[in-house]
Amino acid sequence: MYAQLFTQSPLLVLPLVALALFGAVFFTVVVRVFARRAQTYDAAASLPLENDEARHV
């Protein structure tokens, strides 16, 4: 099946390479992110909550 696909064009390897790349990135990001404690991100997660609504007329 693959041989038949690639006879159309060797360029059709591109989607497979890209999918493999995505898999590698995704796997790494998941492992790295969830290996850290949630509290590591508390400061970043709180950024929208900072009081910045002082008034200037």
Partner 1 sequence: MSAISEAHAAPSGPPYGGKATTIVYNDQIARWFVAASVVFGIVAMLAGAGAALQLAFWPANFDHRIAFGRLRPLHTNAAIFAFVGNMIFAGIYHSTQRLLKTRVASDLLAKIHFWGWQAIIVAAAVSLPLGYTQGKEYAELEWPIDIAIAVVWVIFAVNFFWTLAKRNEKHLYVALWFYIATIVTVAVLHIVNSLAIPVSAMKSYSLFGGAQDGLVQWWYGHNAVAFFLTTPVLGIMYYYLPKAAERPVYSYRLSLIHFWALIFVYIWAGPHHLLNTALPDWAQTLGVIFSIMLWAPSWGGMLNGLLTLRGAWAKLRVDPVLKFFAAGVTFYGMATFEGPLLSIKGVSSLAHYTDWIIGHVHGGALGWNGFMAAGMFYWMVPRLYGTTLFSKKLADLHFYLGTIGILLYMGAMYVSGFTQGLMWRALNPDGTLMYPTFVETLLAVAPMYWMRLVGGLLYLVGFLVMAYNLARTARAGKAVDGTVEVYVVAEAPESHWTEVVFGRPVVFVAFIGAMLGSLAVLNDLASVFIASSAVFIAVVGAVLLQVSKVDGAPSWHRLLEGRALVFTAFTTIAVLVGGVAELIPAIIVAPAAQTNATAQQPYKPLELEGRDIYVREGCYLCHSQMIRPFRWETMRYGDVSAIGDSRYDHPFQWGSKRTGPDLAREGGKYPNLWHYKHLGDPRSVTQGSNMPPYAFLETSEVDFTKTIEKLRAMRTIGVPYTSEQIGAASENARAQANEIADDLRGAGVAVRATTEMVALIAYLQRIGRNPKPATEAVPSVAATVR
Residues forming the site for partner 1 (CB under 8 A): 2, 5-6, 8-9, 11-18, 20-36, 38, 40-57
Minimum CB distance to partner 1, residue 17 (Å):
4
Q: What is the DSSP string of 1-52?
A: -HHHHHHH-GGGHHHHHHHHHHHHHHHHHHHHHHTS-GGGGHHHHTGGGS--
Minimum CB distance to partner 1, residue 8 (Å):
5
Minimum CB distance to partner 1, residue 32 (Å):
6
